Every structure is written in C-alpha cells, then in structure tokens.
Amino acid sequence: MASLSAFYVKLLATTIMMSFSISLVSAEAFRGTNLVVTVTLLNDEIPIIAATQSAANDWVQSHIVPFVSPQNGAIRFRYIAVGNEAIPGSTASLVAPAMRNIHQALISSGVPSDVKVTTVVSPTVLGQSFPPSAGVFENSVSDCMRDVINFLNTIGSPLLINAYPYFALASDPAHISMDYALFQAQNPIIDGPYKYFNLFDAMVDAFVAAVEKVVGYQNGVKVVVSETGWPTKGNEPYTCVDNARTYNRNLKDHVQNVGGTPRMQNYMEVYIYSMFNEDIKPDLVGQSFGAFNKDFTEIYPIWH
C-alpha cells in the first residue's frame, strides 16, 4: 500500500509539495519527481539517536544517504523531523540532543545543506494561546522547547507544528464559530495591531509569539504547518464533506493569495493532512481526514 500510494501521488500531483514519513519500501516511487519529502524519525528511536553520534550516523546512512544520489534520480528531502509530537512526553528532553546528532550526521555524510533538521509539535506545548500575542510555551516543557528553538535558530531551520482548527472548534463550539474556523468570518478578532479573520492564522501566530519570546526577536525561527486538515466523518455536524472541502480549499486560497499570517507576513508553508483515509487510528474522526478513500476513489477535489 505504501509504494502504491506514493506512485499514485506521483501521478496525481507531480508539482505540489507533499509531506511524508517515507519508508524504504516506498522510497523508489519518489525518485526523480518534484515531490518534496519530509522524513520522520520515530519517537521511540529518539533515545538511542540522542545517546550516541554513531547511532545518528547509522540512521542517516540507512534512511537518507541512499536516496540523495543523483545517479538514479535523487529524492528531494525537505526536512528530517526528529519525532512527531514527542514534546511533551517521556523523551521530550532528548529531542534537542537527537536533533543535534542528526544534524551533525547529515554534515558528515555530505547530505545537501538544504535538508533541514527539525521536530514536530502540537498546541499541547503551549501554556497560553489566546490572544495569539500571549502565546507562550507551557512551563513543564519550556526548557525542552527552549533547547529546541535555540538550536533551530542556530542552524536556520523552522519549527514544524500540527494545527487543526477543527479540533479547537469541536472542543469549544460555544466560543469558536464555524465561520471563523472555515476562513469565512466577516469580522476579525483584534489582538493589538493584528486582525484575525480565521482561526488558522491565530493558531499559527500563537506559536510565532511563543518562539519570539524564546529567541528574543521577530523572524528568528519560522513556523511551518506540517499538518492541518478537516475530517469528513465521526462528529456531525462539524465533520462532513462540505466542511472538509471548504476548509482545505479556503486554506489553499489563503496560502496562495495572502501567503502569511499577521505576525509572520510573506511566509507560509503548509501541508494538508491527508491524502488518503486510513484505518490505523482508533476513532472515525482520525480515520477520515483524507481527500481520497483507501481504494483511490476521490471523496472531494482539493487541487482542481
């Protein structure tokens, strides 16, 4: 399924940027394409990678080096994400050391310098997120996040975040409107000099503000949205095909036409989750973020 899915994506959208946790089985389908791939180092691999440089070297030699050679069509790696929402968690304090070891391994292996090391976090790392300017990392993870942010700032890499307005709406519909979550609000929420017409921008800028508080100035570490999307099933009336189509299309238009948030202007890198529905997650909502069914039939169009 992994290699077949990758091949289908290659046929469907060879010029758009997609994010994947790539496996050796599916890697060949990405050779010689315009797809840009993000590789995720699994959370349970973080302790050994953080412990020794040799383990990081071995990981890069196995997962990256074989696929960057141009001889057979190199894979275009964008990011190496050290963990997915590993902070907070039992390995949170090891994320930054693992990132440093992977970064050094990439340098030692001669991997192109535009392949950036980072990690992925969710809004659970924020102690406060509203208004966006009050964004700050939660006390229990502030030391871990400070180590991560300072390292990202040193090497010129962005922080990857998972931002889902759907979950915010579903958890607090009394205070968040559907229009605000779907990019359809007519009246903004005011936060000092900034105006927020949609929840997506507000969620991103809460991270931007938190990062600025660590770095001490603006635009030191960019924020990239590694996952966002809207489910089609599992929690009606919020989950339906119309809402998913509206969210993703309006998001696409927002990225193309605005290209930034109030606090992070002229920069917006976003990856939509997901291409396909799946049955790995335990709940119907989690299984239903795809624009395509598992049999490759289209649920709704995003890109056309």
Q: Which residue has the tokens 């089985």?
A: 25
Please give the pLDDT value at position 76: 82
Residues of the chain with pLDDT below 50 are 1-19
Handedness of CA 240, 299, 261, 81 (dihedral sign): positive
For residue 233 the two structure tokens come to 């099933």
Instruction: Check: CB of residue 215 under 8 Å from CB of residue 135.
Output: no
Catalytic residue among 28, 85, 138, 278: 85
Domain-wise residue ranges, the chain: 2-164+183-231
To the query of whether residue 298 is one of the catalytic residues in this protein, the response is no
Report CA dihedral (71, 76, 77, 78) to the nearest 10 degrees.
150
Give the residues across from 228 on adjacent strands. Answer: 272
Q: Which helix (H) or strand (E) holds 5?
A: helix 2-12
230/28 Cα distance (integer angstroms): 30
- Fold type of domain 2-164+183-231: TIM Barrel (3.20.20)
To the query of whether residue 28 is one of the catalytic residues in this protein, the response is no
Residue 77: name the closest of 4, 21, 8 by CA: 21
Q: Are strands 116-121 and 159-162 parallel, antiparallel or unpaired?
A: parallel
For residue 172 the two structure tokens come to 């607090």
Please give the pLDDT value at position 74: 76
Please give the pLDDT value at position 1: 40
Please give the pLDDT value at position 77: 87
SS3 for 38?
strand
Q: Are strands 189-191 and 194-196 parallel, antiparallel or unpaired?
A: antiparallel
Please give the pLDDT value at position 278: 87
63/29 Cα distance (integer angstroms): 15
Instruction: Check: CB of residue 8 under 8 Å from CB of residue 296.
Output: yes
What one-character-per-residue DSSP string does 266-296 give? T---EEES-SB--S-SSSHHHH---SB-TTS
Instruction: Check: CB of residue 73 under 8 Å from CB of residue 67.
Output: no
